[in-house]
Chains A and B, each alone.
Chain A
Amino acid sequence: MVIKNFSSKPRAAFFDFACCEGCQLTVLQLDDRLLELMAHVEIIEWRQVMSGRGDKYDIAFCEGGVVRNEDVDRIRSIRDRTDILAALGSCASIACHNSLRNEWNVEYAIKHVYGENAGDFDLIPVRPISEVVEVDYQATGCPVSLKEFVTVFEHILTGKIYRPPNDPVCRECKQNDYVCVYEKGRICLGPVTRCGCGAACVAHGDACHGCRGLVDDANTDAVFKALEPKSRHTIMEQMVRKNRLTETDLMKKLSIYDPPKKPENGKE
């Protein structure tokens, strides 16, 4: 029938790298739908929920970021032993909070956090899994959106290419008729952030903080334009003034999940 790619029931596994394991927990929130999922795959390794180990896999869902040399070896070894590798969540796909550490050099960060035990850690600059090995499927989000996980799962099992949504969060926000956060006098990163979460944070009265990462052609320069004294960005500008934001503040806001390049001129 629809399952095209696999000759027998595919063997799936879940792995975690540096992260909070929240994406795995999110998947567990499928509750009894997890049984539906298991009708299609045999789960042979998932440290968070079982003790079994596998050797070769058809599908590996990998969560977290690469932060130590040994992580590089481990993700490469998983890549070698799996047919399909799916990055689960923002740490694995776009770096997420982990990468805030990259603002300091590794030696300084290690000493600062681990003091005299610093020597026990073999830290390297933080990277998402997707920057170390080739990733076949990707679902971003902090945590991953359950709806998107199901969609990615379905695409894997039916042998389809998955293209993560590349429209901004405003799309889902407007489609749901949520009141725009800017109307409430606050800054929202929705206009530059990849949708797919259903504008979850706006739905619950917060602003979008950008956890799904920037859309491919995010106009982050326009965000900084709001800082110019004669900016025409009335709304953005008002928020910047009201909240007394500086370029550093804006950069920090934008950098929590998916650091943009520094503002550059002449890009349209």
Chain B
Amino acid sequence: MTYRTISITNLNRLFEYIIESKDLFAPKEREDQPGFYRFDRILKPDEITLSYGTTTIPPKAFFFPPEETLFTFSLSDEGAKLNPELEEAPFVLAGVHPCDLAAIEALDLALGQPPADHRWLFNRRRAVIIGVDCTPDEYCFCGSVNTLNSRNPADLFLTPVSGGYLVEIPTARGLELLSSVETFEAGPEHLEEAETRRKEKTAQLTAAFNRTSADIAGVLESGGFGDIWKELASRCYSCGSCNLVCPTCFCFHTDDRFELNLTSGHRFRSWDSCQFLEFALVTGGHNFRGLRRNRVRHRWRCKFLHLYKEFGRVFCTGCGRCSRACTADINMADVINRLVHESENHSETRPGKEG
């Protein structure tokens, strides 16, 4: 790994350079709610806030949009004609936090491996990603899921140091991009400053569970916890916000829409949530998770058990978005702690396995 430093002025030059030839998306304060940020199209570098807290919608939306047309179609007596819809222009996504980098990496496993989701792969190849270090809030628990210092798949990674940023350059694409502006070799004092920052950041993490991913998977696999799921279900609205804001959720729903002419239309897909009543409803009318408590339970089992078994990593990056978004105050880290506590203290009284 190569380390360089870049001044604020030169970083802004880099952003200007990017804007000249490509779309640049980065965190920007919302006009409709000051103090809130979202990844937005940037026209001038001073619109960017690299020291933002978090965004409601994660950056995965740039590779897997909330709703996208898969193809348009037209029907005639000669048959059906399909026109695939793919946006091709390359873009740069800047200001991605370590947890969100980890989420893109996780989705590269889930969507990028054969049989790959070709739209995900295609969009991923269009993008250069610039990461930036963050400041955790009370909902973040990246320290408990190994994403505190994630760098993959960033092409460049920025850590604030005096006079500018320390730049890590994990990829050749990053190196090429960075060569367009002046940077300096990083000295030991810069690395030290970044290290101090990391320590401070770790100390700021209040939400945590001190168990390994394997432990959590084991806890969930042991089953039971009926009372916890029941209690959560009594509060949960099944509103789906937790899944819709999650950077690693990848479930979607597909449907067709005709135009009023009834001969042309489009097929689209849009983000789905396993908390919705009809998520596991199948033809014939059976609903595999018709009970709210089973849907609640599924969210934890999906992220910390099923996908862990499948891909060797939990599909939760500790970003805290689900906990922030939940109007029923269902908190991801709290629930894990309750499960761990229950399994360690009451395992002998717990009822047997539940599907």
User: Beyond A2-B263, A158-B258, is A232–B329 a contact (Cβ under 8 Å)?
Assistant: yes
- Write the A229-246 contact mask toward B (1 if CB under 8 angstroms, else 0): 000111110000000000
The yes or no answer to A132 lying at the interface (CB within 8 A) is: no
Q: Which of B42-96 contact A (CB under 8 A)?
A: 56-57, 66-67, 75-77
CB distance from B156 to the nearest CB of A (A): 26
The yes or no answer to B2 lying at the interface (CB within 8 A) is: no
User: Beyond A171-B240, A171-B244, is A236–B328 a contact (Cβ under 8 Å)?
Assistant: yes
Contact partner of A233 (CB less than 8 A), chosen from B75, B241, B258, B328, is B328
CB distance from B328 to the nearest CB of A (A): 6
Q: Which residues of B contact A176 (CB under 8 A)?
A: 66
The yes or no answer to A179 lying at the interface (CB within 8 A) is: yes
Number of interface residues of A (CB under 8 A): 47
Q: Which residues of A contact B239 (CB under 8 A)?
A: 168, 170-171, 190-192
CB distance from A119 to the nearest CB of B (A): 47
A168 x B291 contact (CB < 8 A): no
- B residues with CB within 8 A of A: 30, 32-33, 36, 38, 56-57, 66-67, 75-77, 230, 233-241, 244-245, 257-258, 260-263, 270-271, 273, 276-278, 291-293, 325-329
User: Beyond A167-B276, A222-B328, is A191–B260 a contact (Cβ under 8 Å)?
Assistant: no
User: Beyond A1-B77, A177-B57, A183-B33, is A154–B237 a contact (Cβ under 8 Å)?
Assistant: no
Contact partner of A216 (CB less than 8 A), chosen from B77, B260, B270, B277, is B277
Complex: how many Å from CA A3 to CA B263?
10
Q: How many residue pairs, one in A and one in B, have C-beta atoms under 8 Å apart?
A: 133
* Among B33, B77, B230, B329: residue with most chain A CB under 10 A: B329
B261 x A180 contact (CB < 8 A): no
Q: Which residue of A lies closest to B329 (CB)?
A: A234
The yes or no answer to A83 lying at the interface (CB within 8 A) is: no
Interface stretch of the complex, out of A32-40, A71-79, A88-96, A252-260: A32-40
B235 x A36 contact (CB < 8 A): no
The yes or no answer to A166 lying at the interface (CB within 8 A) is: yes
A174 x B244 contact (CB < 8 A): yes
A192 x B237 contact (CB < 8 A): yes
User: Beyond A154-B258, A219-B237, is A175–B276 a contact (Cβ under 8 Å)?
Assistant: no
CB distance from A6 to the nearest CB of B (A): 12
- Write the A12-56 contact mask toward B (1 if CB under 8 angstroms, else 0): 000000000000000000000100110110000000000000000
B238 x A150 contact (CB < 8 A): no
A-B contact pairs, 20 of them (CB 8 A): A37-B260, A153-B260, A154-B257, A158-B262, A166-B277, A167-B240, A167-B277, A168-B239, A170-B237, A170-B240, A177-B38, A179-B30, A182-B327, A183-B36, A217-B277, A217-B292, A222-B236, A232-B235, A235-B327, A236-B327
Contact partner of A268 (CB less than 8 A), chosen from B230, B258, B270, is B230
Q: Which residues of A contact B235 (CB under 8 A)?
A: 219, 222, 225, 232-233
Q: Which residues of A contact B234 (CB under 8 A)?
A: 219, 221-222, 225, 268
Complex: how many Å from CA A171 to CA B273?
8
Q: Which residues of A contact B240 (CB under 8 A)?
A: 167-168, 170-171, 174
The yes or no answer to A135 lying at the interface (CB within 8 A) is: no
Q: Which 8 A-B pairs have the closest CB atoms?
A: A191-B237, A191-B239, A174-B244, A175-B66, A170-B239, A36-B260, A234-B329, A179-B33
A1 x B75 contact (CB < 8 A): yes
Complex: how many Å from CA A86 to CA B263?
22
* Among B36, B235, B293: residue with most chain A CB under 10 A: B235
B270 x A175 contact (CB < 8 A): yes
Q: Which residues of B contact A1 (CB under 8 A)?
A: 75-77, 262-263
